[in-house]
Amino acid sequence: MTNLLEMYKCDICGNMVEVIEAGEGELVCCGQPMRKLKELTKDHEMYTEKHVPVITKTETGYNIKIGTQPHPMENEHYIVFIEANSPDKKYIKRKYLHPGEKPELDLKCDCNEIIVRAYCNIHGLWTSD
C-alpha cells in the first residue's frame, strides 16, 4: 500500500517514482520491491547543515536554500530537485537542478506556510517538515 506523494527508488536500476494517487499494491522494479524513501529532517544524526531546507519569506513568496551551508552542486554529488508543497498537498512546485546551479528555489505564492522537500543524489530525501 502506498500514500500520496511518497517516493520510491529501485536500488538496481535507479528508477525513482512518486505516488500520484495511492493504491493497495506494492511497487516493484527490476523484479524486486522498490525502497520507500524516508524523509530525513533536522533531527537526522548527520549532514543536516547541507541538506535541511532553509525557508525565508520574501515580498512575493519564499526563498528556499538547501542547507545552512550550501549543498555541493558537483557532477558526482548534487541536489536533484527542490519541491515546495502547500500543507494540504493541493499545490506543488518542483524545480529540477543540474550540477553547477545554485541549490535554491524562489517561489512566488501567497500561501501562509509551505513544506519543502529536496533530493540529494547521495544523501537522499530531506524535508523541512
| Contacting positions for Fe ion (CB under 5 A) | 120, 122-123
For the record, the C-alpha cell of 38 comes out as 524516508
CB of 88 to Fe ion, least distance (A): 29
Distances (CA, A) of 27 to 8, 10, 23, 109, 126: 8, 9, 10, 34, 21
CB of 120 to Fe ion, least distance (A): 3
CB of 123 to Fe ion, least distance (A): 4
Nearer to Fe ion, 34 or 120 (CB): 120
Nearer to Fe ion, 36 or 77 (CB): 77
- DSSP category for residue 50: G
Number of CB atoms found within 10 A of residue 115's CB = 19
Position closest to Fe ion via CB: 120
Phi and psi at 61, nearest 5°, equal: 165, -115
Nearer to Fe ion, 44 or 86 (CB): 44
Nearer to Fe ion, 44 or 93 (CB): 44
